[in-house]
Structure 1
Amino acid sequence: MQAIAVEPGAGEPTLVEKPRPEPAPGEALVRTLRVGVDGTDHEVIAGNHGDLPAGADRLVLGHEAVGVVEDPNGTALEEGQHVVPTVRRPPNGTNEYFERGEPDMAPDGEYVERGIVGAHGFMAEYFTSPAEYLVPIPERLAPLGFLVEPISISEKAIEHAVASRSAFDWEPESALVLGNGSLGLLTLAMFESVLELDRTYCLGRRDRPDPSIDIIDELGSTYVDSRETPVSEISEVHEAVDIVYEATGYAKHAFETIDALAPNGVGVLLGVPEPWSFEIDGGRLHQEFVLHNKALVGSVNSHRGHFESAIDTLEGLPTWLTDDLVTGVYGLEEYQSAFETGDDVVKTAVEFASI
């Protein structure tokens, strides 16, 4: 079978031939339909993130997948059933985090991640997976099933942000998304529909005309150009917000978020920055936390329940949004196009089999 793999740091994914996998007991064989491409894939390609499986010289990419069950192999799944795979797996049998159904809370060394850290991904014509990590999705949603994984990331992030404010009566009205990539735009839509916030903002570094800014406008949100209004000044230029969602991986944003928050607000951090030393006024930021009941929460990955919620969220997204968000779906003969970046690119995917 054909697969898309990379030697981390080589800078370019390649098409390779691999044997079709055979499912072990408790696993199903899945025929891959589509796999999304995101910033993490580009970080792995560049060698800035991720790790090879033991004994491998290349990593099969892809962690945002949708497929159809080819062989249930005695599991409770059915042949022809459409599924979305979760990403984390236990490295050696199992551990307490997986037994509790909380793989997203496992620390380093207690998990591998398909297509990212220590395990091959889903950018292949077929893959196998234990049935408990395959989440059924309605056939009508299968063409967009590769959006379930990124939506699940935000499902968890929002859940944890809200939970951090659950000790008191908290009724958020406004939110700021840092980053106008596909994850930020999906989260912006979720803030509009799931939390029913009155006012939302999205920060980026692009000039009009731009497809991502068009989506922000259509969602009724306010676009903030960080070159004109940095995060630390948003509370003065616009307003202090109740929730900040950081998806840039820009280290200063974690600290600038504190200034952007309203009293009792919460910032949730998802970006993974490179090491970077810089000066901050730690005393002043400490005061902001204490005197205004602010909070910062880190969030990474998601579990099956978040995937299930993400499927419900995906079904509720307007058609115009997903049409504008997905700017390219490419077959294997032109897979390189799915990894191209540019101002006209928002979200891409590789198609392994027609839907």
Structure 2
Amino acid sequence: MKAIAVREGTNTPEVIEKPIPEPQEGEVLVRTLRVGVDGTDHEVINGGHGGAPEGEDHLVLGHEAVGIVEDPNGTEFREGEIVVPTVRRPPNGTNEYFERGEPDMAPGGQYHERGIVGAHGFMAEYFASPTDSLVRIPPSQAEVGFLVEPISITEKAVELAEASRSSFTWDPESALVLGNGSLGLLTLAMLDENENYERLYCLGRRDRPDPTIDIIEEMGATYVDSRQTPVDEVPDEFEGMDFVYEATGYAKHPFQSVQALAPNGVVALLGVPSSWEFEVDGGQFHEEMVLHNKAMVGSVNSNVRHFESASRTLTKMPEWFLDELVTGVYGIDEFEKAFDEGDTIIKTAVQFSAYEER
């Protein structure tokens, strides 16, 4: 079968040949439909994150996948079911985090991530997966199911943020999403479906005309240009935020976000920054957190429950939004286009096979 991989010591994806995997006991064989491309893929390709499985000289890419069950292999799954795989796998059999169904809470060294670190990904014509790492989704999501994984990341982050406010009555009305990439836009669409949030904002660094700004404003949200209004000045220009979702990986944003919060607000951090030292007024930061009952949570990865919730959220997202978000789906013969970057590119995917309803 054909697969898209990056070899150790290179930074260019290529098509390679690999044998079709044989599912082990408790696994099913999945025929891949589509696999999304995101910023993590680019970090892996450029050598800034992740690595190949032990003893191998290449890593099959891709962690945002949707496929169709080809061989149930005696499991409870049925041939033809549409499924989405979760990302993390135990490195040595299992451990307590996986046994509890909480692989997303495992610390470094106690997990592999398919297509990222220690395990081959899903950018291949077929992949095998344990049944407890597969989530069924409706056939109507066969073409957009690769969005379930990124949405699940936000499902978890919002859950953690709400949990941090659960000791009192918290009625959020305003939210600011930092980052107008595909994850930021998916988060904005998710919050837009939440009846609590009456006013939404999304921060970026782009000039008009720009397709992401068009989506933000078509959704009824306000675009905030960080070159004109830095995060910590948002309350002066707009209002204090009940919820801030950080998806940029810009190291100053967590500290600025505390200033952007309204009293009792919460920041969810998802971006992973590079090392950077700079001055921070630690006293002011501490005072804001304490005197105004503010909170900050970090979140990475997600588990089956979040994937299931993400599929339900995806069902609610308007068709116009998904059409404008996904700017390109490419066959394996032109897969390079899925890795292109530019201001007109938002979300891309590689298609390995087409879904035909049975």
Residue correspondences, number? 355
d(CA) in 1 for partners of 2:213, 2:118:
36
1:66-81 correspondence runs (5 A)? 66-81=66-81
The residue that corresponds to 2:246 in the other structure is: 246
TM-score by length of 2: 0.98
Determine helix, strand or coil for the equivalent of 1:302: coil
1:145-156 correspondence runs (5 A)? 145-156=145-156
Q: Deviations over 1:172-218 (max 9, x none)?
A: 00000000001000100111112530101000011111111010001
Q: CA RMSD in A?
A: 0.8
d(CA) in 2 for partners of 1:53, 1:274:
24
The residue that corresponds to 1:122 in the other structure is: 122
Does residue 229 of structure 2 align to residue 234 of structure 1? Answer: no
Deviation at 1:254, TM superposition (A): 1.0
Determine helix, strand or coil for the equivalent of 1:140: helix
Determine helix, strand or coil for the equivalent of 1:143: coil
Deviation at 1:140, TM superposition (A): 1.1
Residues 33 and 67 in structure 1, CA contact (< 8 A), matched pair in contact too = yes
Residues 49 and 116 in structure 1, CA contact (< 8 A), matched pair in contact too = yes
d(CA) in 1 for partners of 2:316, 2:170:
25
Deviation at 1:340, TM superposition (A): 0.2
The residue that corresponds to 2:160 in the other structure is: 160
The one-letter amino acid of 2:234's match is I
Determine helix, strand or coil for the equivalent of 1:251: coil
The one-letter amino acid of 1:120's match is H
The residue that corresponds to 1:225 in the other structure is: 225
The residue that corresponds to 2:255 in the other structure is: 255
The residue that corresponds to 1:216 in the other structure is: 216
Gaps spanning 5+ residues in structure 2: where?
none
Q: Deviations over 1:240-261 (max 9, x none)?
A: 1000000001100011111000
Determine helix, strand or coil for the equivalent of 1:128: strand
Determine helix, strand or coil for the equivalent of 2:144: helix
Q: Percent identity?
A: 69
Deviation at 1:101, TM superposition (A): 0.7
- Describe the shift of the 1:74–1:268 C-alpha distance in structure 2 as closer, same or farther (beyond 3 A): same
Residues 176 and 241 in structure 1, CA contact (< 8 A), matched pair in contact too = yes
Does residue 46 of structure 2 align to residue 36 of structure 1? Answer: no
Residues 9 and 45 in structure 1, CA contact (< 8 A), matched pair in contact too = no
1:163-182 correspondence runs (5 A)? 163-182=163-182
Residues 171 and 196 in structure 2, CA contact (< 8 A), matched pair in contact too = no
Residues 7 and 59 in structure 1, CA contact (< 8 A), matched pair in contact too = yes
Q: Deviations over 1:68-97 (max 9, x none)?
A: 011000111011111000000111111111
d(CA) in 2 for partners of 1:208, 1:331:
31
The residue that corresponds to 2:347 in the other structure is: 347
Deviation at 1:9, TM superposition (A): 5.6
The one-letter amino acid of 2:305's match is G
Residues 241 and 260 in structure 2, CA contact (< 8 A), matched pair in contact too = yes
Residues 150 and 183 in structure 2, CA contact (< 8 A), matched pair in contact too = yes
Moved over 3 A (4+): none
The residue that corresponds to 2:184 in the other structure is: 184
Determine helix, strand or coil for the equivalent of 2:229: coil
The one-letter amino acid of 1:270's match is L
Q: Deviations over 1:130-151 (max 9, x none)?
A: 0111101111111000000000
For structure 1, which segment, 6-15 or 246-255, has the greater mean C-alpha deviation from structure 2 after superposition?
A: 6-15
Q: Deviations over 1:17-37 (max 9, x none)?
A: 111110011100000000000
Residues 41 and 116 in structure 1, CA contact (< 8 A), matched pair in contact too = yes
Q: Deviations over 1:264-301 (max 9, x none)?
A: 00000000001111110011100000010111100000
The one-letter amino acid of 1:34's match is R
Determine helix, strand or coil for the equivalent of 1:12: coil
Deviation at 1:354, TM superposition (A): 1.2
